[in-house]
Amino acid sequence: MKIEKNTVVRFHYDLYDQADGKKIETSKEGDPVAFLFGHNNVIKGLEEAMVDKNAGDAFDVEVPPYKGYGLRHDNSTQRVPLKHLVIDKKAKLKPGMVVNIQTDRGQKQATVIKAGKFNVDVDTNHPFAGKMLKFAVEVIDVREATAEEVAHGHAHGVGGHQH
């Protein structure tokens, strides 16, 4: 079946930084990503490129920042108490490491600049902000979403939300 609103799509991807052609992320070390299509669960550029595709389709898509992770902002350094970080307590924080921070509006990704004893200085730009990205996508399968998935706004099962 074709990808359209309220289908659950499973796909694999390799993600490249267009500036230097380097691969910066891949889904292929684990299960395919599963998401409910048409509910803003993936970045806009990726969702747009998937419309009407079928299981087995493989394609490349270029995603500019405004359809991806946004522009990079200056002055976005913040000092955050360590307790607001969502990490394994034993993990050693290093500059350049990407961490999740608990905020009033949910979790947010940031990059560690400097770690102290009680606080950590982070850059709150998304690590992929400002980048021209290229996704190499392979659609694994497409199915109709269940009523429950549509009500929740996300896919269930392997690669999706696990309640």
Report how far residue 91's alpha carbon sits from residue 32's, in angstroms, rounded to the nearest whole number: 26
* Count of residues that bind Zn ion according to CB under 5 A: 2
Amino acid found at 122: V
- Is 39 near Zn ion (CB under 5 A)? no
Site string for Zn ion, 74-103 (x = CB under 5 A): ------------------------------
- The whole-angstrom separation of Cα 82 and Cα 90 is 12
Taking CB under 5 A as the binding criterion, the range among 8-16, 59-67, 124-132, 144-152 that sits at the site for Zn ion is: 144-152
Neighbours of 14 (CB within 10 A): 16
Contacts of 51 (CB under 8 A, 6+ apart): 3, 4
Question: What x/- string results for residues 102 through 141 when contact with Zn ion is judged by CB under 5 A?
Answer: ----------------------------------------
Out of 98, 152, 157, 158, which residue is the one contacting Zn ion (CB under 5 A)?
152
Return the range that interacts with Zn ion (CB under 5 A); candidates 50-58, 65-73, 109-117, 152-160.
152-160
User: Residue 36 Cβ, how far from Zn ion at the closest point, in Å?
Assistant: 9
b/e for 140-156, b at 16 or more Cβ within 10 A? bebeebeeebbebebbb
Which span (32-40, 64-72, 125-133, 154-162) binds Zn ion, by CB under 5 A?
154-162
The 10 Å Cβ neighbour count of residue 19 is 10
Binding residues for Zn ion (CB under 5 A): 152, 161
